[in-house]
């Protein structure tokens, strides 16, 4: 028998397969289809301080080997997540969950983590995944995830609010992602997850206008897998904290490649939108694929 368990920032999970934020809702929707406790864990929908409707529609555009999305962090806000979403999840998921946190200022990131960490539902949360790809409206629209100093400031602010592991989710839309990863590690981040989506766009040939109302969107799916693999490889060599590989993962073989590149765990994103059973199937297939390639454990 192979051993699929991994240690993610001090917490042992049954396998390294983690549905990515934004593709798995708050979990209980998928629990209607299968027992989601087969997963290592999952990262729930990006949560902000206040409710967000998100961007105008259309928000999704298909493209070869992937998709573009410009959803815009639609979510009910942290108070409703605590009051409504997590109690529903607690009834169907009996493992630590990864809380994905988004914000538009350093203070907002810190406040969302503070409210989650001090809530009655905090025992459900194993890790905080901090998405630093959002615009910093307090700093002229610059993204936190493209500036090492600003990324470090977010880590520092969030670190004051919790003793739980902090995993920083980084953007691929930078020249050197390892510089940002190292800055996060220096300020106390416990892990790095990458990559978020690559910026892209499509046009409607009939109208001559962009397919997305937001004009540009994030490219995900198999098309980004080689880029994600390269960035995971570089980052894993640059830091001494766990790296979670994300980007185009759609099979157990892809999981193994990510692990060979240095990932401790792997998130599955767009594949969940194509096939709601994708993550379950990867978990199911993983032992046989490990055995095929002579891997007894991670």
pLDDT 10s digits, 188-245: 999 999 999 999 999 999 999 999 999 999 999 999 999 999 999 999 999 999 999 9
Q: Beta-strand (E) ranges in 107-252?
A: 125-131, 135-136, 142-143, 166-169, 191-194, 198-200, 203-204, 209-210, 217-220, 243-246
pLDDT of residue 197: 93
pLDDT higher than threshold 90 for residue 287: yes
| pLDDT of 135 above 80 | no
Lowest mean pLDDT among 63-67, 130-134, 157-161, 222-226: 130-134
Which of 84, 147, 143 has its CA nearest to residue 119? 84
Q: Residue 235 has what pLDDT? A: 98
Task: Give the pLDDT mean for 244-256.
Answer: 98
- Quick one: average pLDDT of 245-263? 98
Active site residues: 134
pLDDT value at residue 180? 96
Mean pLDDT of the chain: 94
Work out whether strand 191-194 and strand 166-169 pair parallel, antiparallel, or are unpaired. Answer: parallel
212 with 67: CB under 8 angstroms? no
User: Distance from first CA to last CA of the chain, Å, rounded?
Assistant: 13
The answer on pLDDT for 17 being more than 70 is yes
Q: Does residue 21 carry a pLDDT above 80? A: yes
At 134 the pLDDT is: 57
The DSSP-derived string for 269-281 is -THHHH-TTHHHH
Domain at 6-54+71-204+222-292: CATH code: 3.20.20.70
Q: What would the mean pLDDT of 166-195 be, rounded to a whole number?
A: 96
Lowest mean pLDDT among 52-56, 177-181, 238-242: 52-56
Share of the chain above pLDDT 90, in %: 91
Query: Tokens for 208?
Result: 């001559």
Residue 117's Cβ-count burial label (10 Å; 0-12, 13-18, 19+) is middle
pLDDT at 137 over 60: no
Share of the chain above pLDDT 70, in %: 97
DSSP 8-state symbol, 20: P
Q: Residue 190 in contact with residue 139, Cβ under 8 Å?
A: no
Rounded distance, CA 192 to CA 207, Å? 41
Residue 246 CA to chain centroid, in angstroms? 7
Domain-by-domain residue ranges, the chain?
A: 6-54+71-204+222-292
CA 53, 54, 60 angle in degrees (round to 5)? 130
Strand, coil or helix: 177: helix
- Asked if the model's pLDDT at residue 133 lies above 90, the reply is no
Distance from C-alpha of 295 to C-alpha of 289, rounded to nearest angstrom: 8
Q: What is the pLDDT of residue 138?
A: 40
Two tokens, residue 255: 């999981």
- Angle, in degrees to the nearest 10, between helices 225-238 and 177-186: 40
């Amino acid at each position: 028998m192979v051993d699929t368990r991994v240690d993610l920032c001090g917490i042992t999970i049954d396998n390294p397969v983690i549905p990515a934020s934004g593709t798995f809702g708050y979990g209980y929707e998928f629990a209607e289809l299968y027992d989601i406790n087969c997963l290592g864990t999952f990262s729930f929908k990006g949560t902000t301080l206040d409710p967000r409707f998100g961007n105008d529609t259309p928000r999704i555009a298909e493209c070869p080997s992937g998709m573009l999305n410009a959803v815009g962090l639609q979510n009910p806000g942290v108070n409703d997540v605590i009051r409504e979403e997590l109690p529903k999840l607690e009834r169907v998921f009996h493992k630590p969950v990864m809380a994905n946190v988004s914000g538009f200022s350093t203070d907002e990131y810190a406040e969302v983590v503070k409210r989650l960490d001090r809530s009655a539902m905090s025992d459900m949360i194993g890790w905080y995944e901090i998405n630093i790809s959002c615009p910093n409206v307090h700093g002229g629209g610059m993204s936190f995830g493209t500036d090492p100093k600003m990324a470090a400031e977010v880590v520092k602010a969030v670190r004051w609010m919790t003793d739980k592991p902090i995993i920083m989710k980084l953007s691929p839309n930078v020249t050197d992602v390892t510089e940002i990863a190292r800055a996060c590690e220096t300020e106390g981040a416990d892990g790095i997850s990458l990559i978020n989506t690559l910026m892209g766009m499509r046009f409607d040939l009939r109208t001559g206008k962009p397919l997305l109302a937001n004009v540009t969107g994030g490219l995900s799916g198999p098309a980004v897998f080689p880029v994600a693999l390269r960035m995971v490889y570089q980052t894993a060599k640059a830091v001494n904290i766990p790296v979670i590989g994300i980007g185009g993962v759609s099979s157990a073989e892809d999981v193994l490649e990510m692990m060979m590149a240095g990932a401790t765990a792997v998130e599955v994103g767009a594949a969940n939108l194509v096939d709601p059973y994708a993550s379950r199937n990867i978990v199911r297939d993983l032992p046989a694929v490990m055995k095929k390639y002579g891997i007894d454990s991670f």
